[in-house]
Structure 1
Amino acid sequence: MNRLCFLFLGLGVLCGCSDRMPPDDSLCVQGEWIVVDFRSPKGTEDRGQRRKHAIISEETWSEQFLGDRFEDFEYTIDPNKSPKELDLIQTDPSGNRLTVRAIYELIDNERLRVCIGSPPVVEKDGKPEFMESVRPTDFTAKDGPLISYRRKTKRPEWFWSPRS
């Protein structure tokens, strides 16, 4: 009987049921997200992007942009920076690895804001020109969009609840 109690206590600690710190951001960003607001660099809201999805797993950030098609990115996050940093990495058809620099913010573990930096490719004289993406410093849609998401399905209570 005592072994069973220790097993459940151990599972409770691993699942975040204790007074311990919440899971790190790499776990918290995972899941399916729905776009609730999309601000373009022109300062206008793009209502056509609402209800689009992002599906984030441990290794892949899949973002729905045009129509129902998803684009897949590798991603890295650095929650220790201020603001928190996100890099979206994609390999184009010619083999170039392109990195889009961004910042992100998790709010109540149910909302996510991402501000995308400048694009790594621009068209100049009809040809693509590769350049380093510039990371935004605040949550304004200056060089790239500001996207606000809400989690499609709520995390279970045991996953993380902030300390009172």
Structure 2
Amino acid sequence: MNRLLFLGLFVLCGCSDSTPPDSQCILGEWVVVDFRSPKATEDRGQRRKHAIISEGTWSEQFQGDTFEDFEYAIDPSKSPKELDLTYTDSSGRHLKVRAIYEIVDEDRLRVCLGSPPIVLKNGKPEFVESVRPITFEAKDGPVISYRRKTKRAEWFFGTRD
């Protein structure tokens, strides 16, 4: 029995020759360590904000202690790897932000968001299609670098008291 548990942990923690799929690698709680916006070189006010990524939901802390929830989909077969974040605005409209991402190592993640799906035109909001970035440069949206707050084994199994 102990051998099976050890083998399961060995594979889950990425200690085997095969790397877990991105859909498993991104799960967990992440802390922002760098936030570069198109308007400034670095937004230090975003540091230490959190993202909690579970299957199907990406919760991102932007302002204060509140989190915004997004549905997400990834496509690791693309180059660069693609991420789509979808949220519902106050009128019930589903809006999608296109992005790219990379898993730098088991404890670091980088995301570059594309253009926002809403722009102001003559002082009125207009809905447009988000444009996906092709490089990790803060042109239309920010580049956010995260480090994992909890180790993957702790995220899946919890910690022991």
TM-score of the aligned structures, taking structure 1 as reference length = 0.85
Structure of higher CA gyration radius: 1
Spell out the pairing of 1:112-127 with structure 2 (5 A cutoff): 112-127=109-124
- Rounded to whole Å, the distance in 2 between the matches of 1:11 and 1:127 is 58
Q: Which residue of 1 aligns with 2:98?
A: 101
Q: Which residue of 2 aligns with 1:37?
A: 34
- Rounded to whole Å, the distance in 1 between the matches of 2:16 and 2:26 is 21
Deviation beyond 3 Å, 4+ runs, structure 1: 8-11, 17-20
Q: Is the 2:30–2:147 contact (alpha carbons within 8 Å) kept by the matching residues of 1?
A: yes
Spell out the pairing of 1:31-110 with structure 2 (5 A cutoff): 31-110=28-107
Q: Is the 1:86–1:104 contact (alpha carbons within 8 Å) kept by the matching residues of 2?
A: yes
After TM superposition, the structure 1 stretch with the greater mean CA deviation from structure 2, 34-43 or 135-144, is: 34-43
TM superposition shift of 1:125? 1.8
**Structure 1 gap ranges (5+):** 160-164
SS of residue in 1 equivalent to 2:11? coil
TM superposition shift of 1:155? 2.5
Q: Which residue of 2 aligns with 1:148?
A: 145
1:74-108 Cα shifts (integer Å, max 9, x gaps): 00000110000000000111111100000000011
Matched pairs, number: 153
SS of residue in 2 equivalent to 1:16? helix
After TM superposition, the structure 1 stretch with the greater mean CA deviation from structure 2, 123-132 or 79-88, is: 123-132
TM-score of the aligned structures, taking structure 2 as reference length = 0.87
Paired letter, 2:66: R
- Rounded to whole Å, the distance in 2 between the matches of 1:16 and 1:81 is 25
Seq. identity, %: 70
Q: Is the 1:43–1:141 contact (alpha carbons within 8 Å) kept by the matching residues of 2?
A: no
Paired letter, 2:88: T
Equivalent of residue 16 in structure 1, options 1, 6, 11: 11
**Structure 2 gap ranges (5+):** 157-161
TM superposition shift of 1:128? 1.0
- Rounded to whole Å, the distance in 1 between the matches of 2:151 and 2:128 is 38
Paired letter, 1:95: G
